[in-house]
Amino acid sequence: MSIFDDVLFETNSKKKGKNKQNSGRKTENKIKEFKEEFSENISEYDYQPYRNNGVILTRLSDHSASVKYDGLLAKCGAEDVYTVVGYGSNSNWENVQTIRMNRVGNTFQADIPAIPGKNINIAFKDGANNWDNNSGMNYTFVQ
C-alpha cells in the first residue's frame, strides 16, 4: 500500500465541468481512482532535481549509490572527472571523499558510498581543477 491509495484524480477540469451551455452537450464529471502500479519501486532518488544539470543519482542499496554525470565539465570536453562527495549538512560536509569517475561515452559514472539517514552532497571537478558545484549550491540529495 502507498500513501497514494486514496488519491483520486478528476479527469475533467472544473472550468469545463458544469457549463452545460458551452457546446450544447452535457458534460459529466468523471473521477478515476489512482492506480498503485504508478507508485511502486520508488526510492528516495527517483526525484531527480538536477537532471537538467546532467546529474543523476540512483540508489543501489542502503549503503551505496551510483552517480551519473554528463554536465558542464563533460560537455566542455573534460578527459577526467572526479566526484567530490560529502555527507550531512550541505554547509558542513562530513567524511569528504574524492572519487574518480569512469567514462562511458560522453557520460561519467561512479559508485559512491551512502550513509543511511545522511544527505549526500556532491560536486564535480576535472583534471584541470575546473569545478561544477551547481553555482556554489552543490548537488544535495536528501535521504
Q: Structural domains in the chain?
A: 8-39 (no CATH), 51-141 (2.60.40.10)
Q: Which three cell numbers stand for residue 40?
A: 511502486
Query: What is the structure's pLDDT at 37?
Result: 36
- Please, what's the largest Cα pairwise distance for the chain? 68
Query: What is the structure's pLDDT at 143?
Result: 76
Mean pLDDT of the chain: 77
SS3 label, residue 79 = coil
* Higher pLDDT among residues 23 and 112, named by residue: 112
Confidence class of residue 44 from pLDDT cuts 50, 70 and 90? very low
